């Protein structure tokens, strides 16, 4: 079991961070019975220790910045303190742990979820810098295959367009769209040559479609231009949609792909 070797300053910061979160909780927040008289503010240390499965002495030392911890034990403490994802990641960083591979996916502002849902008739995706699909609205799943049906590590718009037959049936003219998305991707990737998400996607693309080697070798760049595309709906004929890539403020270089039926107004930029 790997144990962190955080500096004294980081350990002290972690202890203060955990203590602050402990003091915000009540017994009822974690399913414990309350008592009429409690001198301690928030949860007691022994209550957190029991919930996390550690000794009271060790948890006390952790808050005092006197001990290092394993990631597994810190995960248990985070669950006991009901830390949200951002707070959990911060605690791990203070303990000296690098993000796990699964933690590397970009986060996004929850308010962007409401932006997507504000387009009930326009299928829309929130995309990360490497075109990973981070979120989608209900209109998207009524027109396209549901992203939730795909493994998370393959939930990438460009990868799905060039490898998945269902996406290609929806968009018979997928090739120019995919090529322009790749140019958009290259523009961002060249600014972050060491980014793991870009390297991972490039490896998947080369492996899945070696016949498109000339695409992957192409160094041309450019922003994705708005266009009108024909999308084939279930049991119907192709229907024209306006396809626009809107830049989102969070995370950096994220974007929203919006597809608007041509008989409706184009959605405003968020």
Model confidence pLDDT, tens digit, residues 54-77 = 999 999 999 998 888 888 899 899
- List all residues 6 or more positions away from 243 whose beta carbon is below 8 Å from its beta carbon: 177, 226, 227, 228, 229, 257, 258, 259
Mean pLDDT score, 140-156? 91
Residue 156's beta-bridge partner residues?
132
Model confidence pLDDT, tens digit, residues 175-192 = 999 999 999 988 877 777
Question: Residue 70 corresponds to which tokens in the numbers above?
Answer: 């394993």
Let me know if domain 111-261 sits in CATH 3.30.450.180.
yes
Q: Where are the domains of the chain?
A: 8-104, 111-261
Euclidean distance between CA atoms 247 and 225, whole angstroms = 12
Q: How many residues in total does the chain contain?
A: 270
Buried b vs exposed e over 6-40: b needs ≥16 C-beta within 10 Å?
beeebbbbbbebbbebbeebeeeeeeeeeeeeeee
Residue 238's beta-bridge partner residues?
232
Pick the CATH number of 8-104 from 1.10.260.40, 3.30.43.10, 3.30.450.30, 3.40.50.2300: 1.10.260.40
Query: Does the pTM of the predicted model rise above 0.95?
Result: no
Predicted local confidence at residue 265, as pLDDT: 45
Residue 242's beta-bridge partner residues?
228, 260
Euclidean distance between CA atoms 120 and 128, whole angstroms = 22
């Amino acid at each position: 079991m790997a144990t962190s070797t955080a500096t004294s300053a980081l350990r002290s910061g972690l202890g203060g961070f955990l203590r602050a979160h402990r003091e915000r909780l009540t017994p009822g927040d974690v399913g414990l019975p309350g008592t009429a008289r409690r001198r301690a503010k928030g949860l007691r240390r022994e209550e957190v220790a029991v919930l996390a499965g550690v000794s009271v002495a060790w948890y006390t030392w952790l808050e005092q910045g006197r001990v290092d911890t394993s990631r597994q034990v810190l995960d248990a403490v985070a669950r006991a303190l009901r830390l949200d994802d951002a707070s959990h990641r911060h605690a791990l960083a203070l303990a000296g742990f690098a993000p796990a591979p699964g933690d590397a996916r970009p986060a996004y502002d929850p308010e962007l979820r409401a932006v997507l849902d504000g387009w009930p008739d326009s299928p829309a995706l929130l995309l990360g810098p490497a075109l990973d699909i981070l979120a989608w609205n209900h209109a998207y799943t009524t027109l396209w295959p549901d992203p939730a049906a795909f493994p998370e590590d393959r939930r990438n718009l460009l990868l799905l367009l060039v490898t998945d037959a269902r996406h290609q049936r929806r968009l018979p003219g997928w090739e120019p769209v995919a090529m322009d998305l790749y140019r958009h991707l290259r523009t961002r990737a060249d600014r972050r040559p060491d980014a793991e998400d870009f390297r991972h996607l490039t490896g998947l693309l080369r492996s899945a479609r070696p016949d498109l080697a000339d695409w992957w070798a192409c160094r041309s760049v450019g922003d994705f231009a708005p266009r009108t595309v024909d999308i084939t709906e279930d049991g119907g004929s192709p229907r024209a949609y306006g396809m626009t890539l809107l830049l989102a403020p969070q995370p950096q270089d994220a974007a929203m792909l919006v597809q608007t039926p041509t008989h409706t107004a184009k959605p405003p930029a968020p």
